[in-house]
A and B are shown apart, each in its own frame.
Chain A
């Protein structure tokens, strides 16, 4: 199917409705139909749409993709198609292959604590109330065509429920792998529910397994009850021909605390949209991102933070290093509503261009309707600090090494925010490789190297630079 023709969606929906919605409850079924109407009304975004001003999605929409509404795969072991490139990452691994949950023998596991982990389509059957009460609570179909498309068509994805007061000690790693002989269009829908005072650490990985073009349109809803705590990572590592649209909606109630970190390492085209609604007092969110792109790769981060309650704090920090012909877009939008007094919001986007062919479009945007606020933002594009360069060179470091060190220090600010040690070490290693230009060389393996590189030895304390 060609995605660019919006009428195709209407037809396909009607033809496959029985398959798509075979597990739907009545409420979910209505939700789908409503989402389809939104999709048809909105149409697909073009560059005349402000949010897509600097990113041209049309080419990715021209490919003829296969689309499946029924699981067409045999049971596979995750290790058959996925190797985690983070050595020693001790996680509770759950996987999707081309959008379908792979653990067919146990599609939904309920732990002794009451925590539920598994497939969303299974959860619709086994715990319909949980799904109905939360699905669509955070995502908005009325303004975002890809979200509406996902709401109308997605049939499976991850489901995680953490009951009140439960702390999940082991990191849950959700991996979506796209691997098919033909170009495939995959839509996954993930739902994560955190009860009051609960705690969760989540790593969300998108990988490709071969070099065929794939298009993933994924929506993740994260609903956080009062005083819950989430540590969330997105690792994106897809091939040069693939497209990934990853829309994450986070709804936070009072006192909740969320850290989310989008790490885009490799990909043909990656679009991350992160929507955070701070809906209860004294909730806080930290949104970090790092993108290291080269060749003709493109990454587009859109972050919307809605301060809908008083006394909330948000911090946004995105950094990027762009090589070759890479193109990055950053759109930040902070909305402080009328009664959201004593808001503190900080937004920053910093970029380094390594070539004159690389390009960055940055738009940090503040929209403020409350007066007792402290909001600031900054954006820079530029070179490395010449004073720091001089300092390093005066200590006898070659210009190339000095540049490398400073770029590393630039990226390290985001990497240091990662609380999972093995993940942090791996990222650290990848960044060094990227900076030395080695990532492009081992392109064929799409980063699936198993042995981490030896660390670069620094003789000086980078924190002082």
Chain B
């Protein structure tokens, strides 16, 4: 990032959450609540193959037997699953075949969010899959990508057009019974993105999905599946926002990544779901299972996340390092302000020889929030010469918030090396005085210092995201001083 970008901090004078508007579009809903009928309704609505319905029903039945997890350092109010719409979609007039046929109201919504769906208008080479509530409304650049043999489409389209690929890989990294929220997602997921990069292909542009919750009382349950074949490379970005509403809304996604021999997948997230108001009312419950497997030798999966939104975040992007010499990375900045709660981190499971993993986590807590890092580094008996380095730093702004670190280290191999370091501190008075003495006001000084603190992670983001993320960091902390 250049020196220029930080200047953006000073331009920001808007209200706290600028994506809080609601688009007035006609929406059709599944019947309220959750039952086998809901699951069947969603599957029928999407005209899914039989195997998919069976998978959903198995997951649903399993979910019914599972208790909600309580181990995280979070206070999660009970969720009434019968008062949520599990499927909501903007009403279509007819099948879409070109951009002209997308509801102009929807196009305007995405324009307002800074996401242009018009390929002509896009300056940078980023292909976008735009998901609103339960459906994908438009995937850009699909045709361009198809020339390289790359499949990038909505999950629903993938089920229609590439059912074998979906059947082969879906649930192979995150089984439906993996946890409470993955089971729920497997039963009721509605849409999401699918990317397949064939052998030897370097994806020429960034792929991205933009998730938007619009309808009230609606949960969003998206599903993303990324497959990189031998020697393939892809960089994938995910962004998300939601309107400001007084009630809490549920978001439970599953992301699966499969990297075959020598493949590399870079997955970046800027999570900015509505965090709730200053009193802690409303906001998104963000319960996400993200996991990748480095299946082939020499493969690499890298997660980068900037988490600023959501009332509650529960999320542990993980890597299973199965192939020899495979590499897993996790870079995270998590900011919590007001009454937000975040429990996030990563799991690195070393199974292959000479596997390497890096975890860099920067937590920033302000207001009355609680921010926890939770991570697991596991070195199995047969993972010879494996290495992990973890660094988890916490920054506290104010004396009513909390910062916690829960690293789990499990090693059963003598030739491996695991190192974990963590610090917790506050912005020093000396740093603030130094900035102020140069004429910088307190809030900008904090923005500057926090951005500097998070720089190691922000640097890992693609350019398109980095500037956005910097702005977000400062906005999220507005009003946290005093």
| Residues of A bordering B, CB below 8 Å | 50, 54, 338-339, 341, 351, 353-383
Could you tell me the distance between the alpha carbons of A351 and B409 in the complex, rounded to whole angstroms?
A: 11
How far, in whole Å, are A125 and B426 apart by their CA atoms in the complex? Answer: 52
Which of the residues B399, B406, B414 comes within 8 Å of A341, measured between beta carbons? B399
| In the complex, chain B residues whose CB is within 8 Å of the CB of A377 | 405, 420-422
Question: Given the complex of chains A and B, what is the CA–CA distance between A351 and B416 in angstroms?
Answer: 11
Does the CB pair B417–A373 fall under 8 Å? no
Pair B381/A356 contact, Cβ less than 8 Å: yes
A103–chain B nearest beta-carbon distance, Å: 45
Given A365-B404, A381-B409, A375-B424 contact (CB < 8 Å):
yes
Q: Measured between C-beta atoms, what is the minimum distance from B146 to chain A in Å?
A: 47
Name which residue of chain B comes closest to A377, CB basis: B422
Segment of B206-214, B323-331, B390-398 engaged in the interface with chain A: B390-398
Q: Assess whether B414 is in contact with A354, with CB atoms less than 8 Å apart.
A: yes
Q: Nearest chain-A residue to B411 (Cβ)?
A: A381
Question: B408 at the A/B interface (Cβ < 8 Å)?
Answer: yes
Which one of A354, A373, A382 contacts B424 once the chains associate, using CB atoms below 8 Å? A373
Does B410 have its Cβ within 8 Å of any Cβ on chain A? yes
Q: A371-B397, A382-B416 are in contact. Are A54 and B410 (CB under 8 A)?
A: yes
- Docked Cα-Cα span, A257 to B211, in Å, equals 55
Chain A contact residues, majority secondary structure: strand
Alpha-carbon separation in the docked complex, A376 to B405 (Å): 10
A383: chain B residues at CB < 8 Å are 414-415, 417
Q: How large is the interface on B (under 10, 10 to 19, 20 to 34, 35 or more residues)?
A: 35 or more
Is B400 in contact with chain A by the CB < 8 A criterion? Answer: yes
How many Å lie between the Cα of A364 and that of B397 in the bound state? Answer: 23
| B442 CB, nearest partner CB in chain A, Å | 15
Tell me whether B422 and A359 are in contact (CB under 8 A): no
6 closest Cβ contacts across the A-B interface? A382-B417, A371-B396, A353-B414, A375-B424, A362-B409, A381-B411
List the A side residues contacting B282 at CB < 8 Å. Answer: none
Contact B399 A371 (CB under 8 A): yes
Q: In the complex the two chains form, is A381's CB within 8 Å of B417's CB?
A: yes
| Residues B416 and A381 in contact, CB atoms below 8 Å apart | yes
Interchain CA distance A354-B414 in the complex, whole Å: 6
Give B427 Cβ to nearest chain A Cβ, in Å: 9
Using Cβ atoms and an 8 Å threshold, which residues of chain A touch B405? Answer: 364-366, 377
A338 touching B400, Cβ below 8 Å: yes
- The chain B residue with its CB closest to the CB of A343 is B424
Cα(A229)–Cα(B418), bound, Å: 36
A368 touches B403 (CB 8 A): yes
Residue B413 interfacial (CB < 8 Å): yes
Indicate if B15 sits at the interface (CB-CB under 8 A). no
Interface assignment of B98: CB less than 8 Å from any CB of chain A: no
Contact A364 B420, beta carbon cutoff 8 Å: yes
B440 at the interface (CB under 8 A from A): no
B381, B398, B401, B414 interface centre (most CB from chain A within 10 Å): B414
Q: How far is the CA of A444 from the CA of B399 in the complex (A)?
A: 56
A363-B396 CB under 8 A given contacts A368-B424, A380-B420 = no
Query: Among the listed A354, A373, A378, which residue makes an inter-chain contact with B426, where contact means beta carbons less than 8 Å apart?
Result: A373
Query: Are B71's CB and A50's CB within 8 A?
Result: yes
